[in-house]
């Protein structure tokens, strides 16, 4: 099958068969009955993948549905499409680019190991840059005079490094304070600057394009502050992480670490964009982070479909979105260090798959990306879980739990783990109460992802798993998961509004936009 000319999910026989299966028994599947009927259900619907154990048994699937879903993936050429990505083909067709974030975590070729020529060259560049970036990270770590590292970036140039730096706090050096400034709202930078000293601060300007308004505005203000405080050594106190090294140079930054156009912003924390992570956790741990992701890449690339966790999750996502009609998925990390995971996943999935046309630009006749949202458990339990248990919408929940704690406070972790298991159980079993108010309908689906320990390697694997499951649902829907044209219009209009806010010119604007401008002046 031609990987770039595959049938869309709604054009293959399995789609129609899944529709029939949904009507016949899928819609009515009751998890309580499914567990009662099959004592082996947990084993049958759980899956070991590198560093991640997944219990899928509390999802509304049975063996028939699952095998139809595998047929769907086969008929849509998901494996061929995956292989095309790993071969470096230009699968990001609207931008004419390859999609090779996996290469950022691939170890150097072993003696005699073969790879397509293009990949070989890129891999050599990846390793040269990685070595330089990690060398710089170690240099910063050893430099006692630098106490504060400020990452200025937004979207993929912020969320990944921030999420991972928080997640790996147990591995971080206590000698550096890491700060992340993303918002163009000056309150963010203005609140930080008075806490910094010129001689002990390193600014990292992280931007794939080095043109993003928010980042460039913050970078300009940081540089102006630095100079106003008497700072002169920009080579020591500023570094740029970007594919646009020329723009960084003309901005006045000579210390640069590059990456490539085949790395999407939301897939970029494995590249030079990961420098803040590397400064926090050190080169060895950063390499473990990459190795964990590579282990998941290999799992995705080689495991048969039936035991391929990213494929199974991606198929489940399509089953829920297109057949059950579920509109969102709630992410519930039961580890406070994973508190920015939901925000990270929002960009990963919603910027990738929030599309309404297929790769050929044809309007899709079915729904795509759900809304992702969430907060760390147990906090969510005391806020919106009411709705998850008794609301009118069914929201599949993705629990993420970690077996081993990294603190020694007695009791806490047992309570935490008891809660995550109980929530998944409660959503599924429900509780009959004739009075209505205390009735829990149950049969509410969830996936349970379990890490043994939250380490650089397991975090790398967890995130690569999420990247690949987004690839799978995008591949089935026939969309290009690697562009993001939907963010452009707002950017263009903001450029038009900006001078109008100063001039008061409202000519040609609708009355609401004009009215708001007048109020804001
Ligand atoms: O506007 C969206 C976006 O392009 C994201 O895809 C990206 O991660 C973010 O902006 C930041 O872009 P850059 O790294 O080029 O500053």
| pLDDT, tens digit (0-9, with 9 covering 90-100), for 63-82 | 999 999 999 999 999 999 99
Name the helix (H) or strand (E) containing 214: helix 213-228
Name the helix (H) or strand (E) containing 280: helix 275-281
Cβ contact 367:324 at 8 Å: no
403 is catalytic: no
382 is catalytic: yes
DSSP annotation of 202: E
Place of tokens 């969320």: 159
For ligand 1, atom 9, the nearest C-alpha belongs to 155
- Return d(Cα 68, Cα 71) in angstroms, integer: 5
Residue of 159, 162, 265 with the most ligand 1 atoms within 8 Å of its CB, for mutation: 265
Degrees, nearest 5: CA angle 362-367-369 = 105
Active-site residue (options: 120, 197, 431, 491): 491
CA 275 – ligand 1 centroid, Å: 17
Q: Which tokens sit at 154?
A: 């937004």
Q: Which atom of ligand 1 is nearest to the CA of 487?
A: 1
Binding site membership of 161 for ligand 1 (Cβ less than 6 Å): no
Degrees, nearest 5: CA angle 235-236-240 = 60
Active-site residue (options: 382, 407, 437, 519): 382
Q: Which atom of ligand 1 is nearest to the CA of 488?
A: 1
Binding site membership of 469 for ligand 1 (Cβ less than 6 Å): no
How would you write the pLDDT of the chain (521 residues) with one tens digit per residue?
Answer: 898 899 999 999 999 999 999 999 999 999 999 999 999 999 999 999 999 999 999 999 999 999 999 999 999 999 999 999 999 999 999 999 999 999 999 999 888 888 888 789 999 999 999 999 999 999 999 999 999 999 999 999 999 999 999 999 999 999 999 999 999 999 999 999 999 999 999 999 999 999 999 999 999 999 999 999 999 999 999 999 999 999 999 999 999 999 999 999 999 999 999 999 999 999 999 999 999 999 999 999 999 999 999 999 999 999 999 999 999 999 999 999 999 999 999 999 999 999 999 999 999 999 999 999 999 989 999 999 999 999 999 999 999 999 999 999 999 999 999 999 999 999 999 999 887 999 999 999 999 999 999 999 999 999 999 999 999 999 999 999 999 999 999 999 999 999 999 999 999 999 999 999 999 99
CA 290 – ligand 1 centroid, Å: 22
Binding site membership of 208 for ligand 1 (Cβ less than 6 Å): yes
CA 322 – ligand 1 centroid, Å: 29
CA 129 – ligand 1 centroid, Å: 21
- Return d(Cα 493, Cα 515) in angstroms, integer: 16
β-strand pairing of 256-258 with 397-402:
unpaired
CA 208 – ligand 1 centroid, Å: 7
Name the helix (H) or strand (E) containing 334: strand 328-334
Q: Which atom of ligand 1 is nearest to the CA of 214?
A: 16
Active-site residue (options: 79, 349, 351, 398): 351
CA 154 – ligand 1 centroid, Å: 6
Binding site membership of 418 for ligand 1 (Cβ less than 6 Å): no
208 is catalytic: no
CA 53 – ligand 1 centroid, Å: 32
- Return d(Cα 267, Cα 467) in angstroms, integer: 8
Binding site membership of 268 for ligand 1 (Cβ less than 6 Å): no
- Return d(Cα 405, Cα 102) in angstroms, integer: 29
pTM for the predicted model, two decimal places: 0.98
Binding site membership of 215 for ligand 1 (Cβ less than 6 Å): yes
Q: Return the CA Rg of the chain.
A: 24
Q: Which atom of ligand 1 is nearest to the CA of 351?
A: 6
β-strand pairing of 52-55 with 201-206:
unpaired
The per-residue pLDDT for 117 is 82
Binding site membership of 468 for ligand 1 (Cβ less than 6 Å): no
In 10 A of CB 224, how many CB atoms?
A: 10
Residue of 95, 99, 155 with the most ligand 1 atoms within 8 Å of its CB, for mutation: 155
CA 120 – ligand 1 centroid, Å: 27
Binding site membership of 422 for ligand 1 (Cβ less than 6 Å): no
3-state per-residue secondary structure call for 251-319: HCCCCEEECCCCCCHHHCCCCHHHHHHHHHHCHHHHHHHHHHHHHHHHHHHHCCHHHCHHHHHHHHHHH
The per-residue pLDDT for 481 is 98
Q: How many helices (H) and strands (E) does the chain have?
A: 21, 11
- Return d(Cα 404, Cα 417) in angstroms, integer: 10
Which candidate, 452, 451, 465, places its Cα nearest to that of 299? Answer: 465
The per-residue pLDDT for 435 is 73
For ligand 1, atom 3, the nearest C-alpha belongs to 155
Q: Which atom of ligand 1 is nearest to the CA of 273?
A: 14
């Amino acid at each position: 099958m031609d990987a770039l000319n595959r049938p869309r999910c709604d054009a293959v026989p399995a789609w129609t068969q899944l529709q029939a299966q949904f009507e016949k028994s899928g819609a009515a599947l009751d998890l309580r009955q499914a567990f009662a009927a099959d004592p082996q259900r947990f084993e049958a619907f759980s899956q070991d993948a590198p560093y991640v154990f997944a219990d899928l048994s509390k999802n509304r699937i049975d063996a028939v549905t699952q095998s139809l879903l595998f047929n769907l993936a086969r008929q849509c050429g998901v494996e061929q499409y995956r292989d095309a990505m790993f071969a470096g083909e230009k699968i990001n067709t609207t931008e004419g680019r390859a999609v090779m974030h996996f290469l950022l975590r691939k170890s150097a070729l072993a003696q005699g190991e073969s790879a397509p020529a293009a990949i070989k060259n890129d891999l050599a560049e990846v390793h040269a840059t990685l070595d330089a970036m990690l060398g710089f990270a170690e240099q910063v770590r050893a430099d006692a005079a630098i106490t504060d590292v400020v990452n200025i970036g937004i979207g993929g140039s912020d969320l990944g490094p921030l999420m991972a730096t928080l997640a790996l706090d147990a591995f971080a050096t206590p000698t550096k304070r890491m700060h992340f400034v993303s918002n163009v709202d000056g309150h963010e930078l203005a609140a930080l600057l008075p806490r910094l000293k010129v001689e002990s601060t390193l600014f990292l300007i992280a931007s794939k394009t080095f043109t993003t308004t928010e980042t460039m505005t913050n970078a300009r203000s940081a540089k102006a502050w630095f100079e106003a405080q008497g700072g002169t050594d920009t080579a020591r106190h500023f570094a740029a992480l970007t594919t646009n090294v020329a723009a960084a140079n003309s901005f006045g930054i000579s210390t640069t670490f590059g990456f490539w156009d085949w790395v999407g912003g939301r897939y970029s924390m494995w590249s030079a964009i990961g420098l803040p992570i590397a400064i926090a956790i050190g080169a060895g741990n950063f390499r473990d982070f990459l190795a964990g992701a590579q282990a998941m890449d290999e799992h995705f690339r080689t495991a048969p479909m039936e035991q391929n966790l990213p494929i199974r999750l991606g198929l489940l996502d399509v089953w829920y979105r297109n057949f059950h009609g579920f509109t969102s998925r709630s992410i519930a990390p039961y580890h406070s260090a994973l508190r920015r995971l939901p925000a990270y996943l929002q960009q990963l999935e919603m910027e990738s798959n929030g599309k309404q046309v297929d790769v050929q630009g044809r309007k899709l006749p079915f729904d795509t990306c759900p809304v992702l949202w969430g907060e760390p458990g147990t906090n969510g339990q005391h806020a919106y879980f009411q709705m998850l248990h008794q609301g009118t919408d069914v929201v599949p929940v993705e629990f993420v739990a970690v077996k081993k704690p990294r603190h020694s406070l007695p009791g806490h972790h047992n309570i935490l783990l008891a809660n995550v298991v109980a929530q998944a159980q409660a959503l599924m079993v429900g509780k009959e109460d004739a009075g209505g108010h205390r009735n829990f309908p149950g049969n509410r689906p969830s996936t349970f992802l379990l890490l043994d320990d939250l380490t650089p390697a397991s975090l790398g694997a967890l995130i690569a798993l999420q990247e690949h499951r987004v690839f799978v649902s995008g591949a089935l829907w026939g969309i290009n998961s690697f562009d993001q044209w939907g963010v452009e219009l707002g950017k263009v209009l903001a450029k038009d509004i900006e001078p109008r806010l100063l001039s008061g010119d409202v000519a040609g604007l609708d009355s609401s936009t004009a009215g708001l401008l007048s109020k804001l002046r």
